[in-house]
Amino acid sequence: MSQPPLRAAIIPVTPLQQNCSLIWCTETMLGALVDPGGDLPKLKAAVAHHGATRPSPSVTMDGTAPKARAYGAHDSTVAFSRAL
């Protein structure tokens, strides 16, 4: 049986254990992080564990702008992409 075209993993992040989703294409292994929220080391480990490459985070409205500014960027997509 062939693999499904997409796979997903739930990664609990922050002290509140909020759900971040890692979604990736099983053919290209290109991935995306949905609602990353924080815990960069944990996100990097999950991406490596599942073999996804070049994760592209989504922009969310949950306060990721201050995190982006901490990385010298103006939006979370650029900040997390540089960090990963």
Domain that holds residue 22: 6-83
Q: Tokens 């992080």: give the residue.
A: 33
What pLDDT shows up at residue 64? 55
Alpha carbon of 62 to those of 6, 18, 25, 37, 45: distances in Å?
26, 11, 26, 8, 22
pLDDT value, residue 6? 92
% pLDDT > 70, the chain: 63
Type of residue numbered 43? L
Task: Pull the structure tokens for residue 66.
Answer: 């201050």
Q: Could you tell me if residue 1 is inside a domain?
A: no
User: Is 60 inside any structural domain?
Assistant: yes
Q: What percent of the chain is predicted at pLDDT more than 90?
A: 24
Q: Which residue has the higher pLDDT, 21 or 3?
A: 21
What is the total count of domains within the chain? 1
Higher pLDDT, 48 or 36: 48
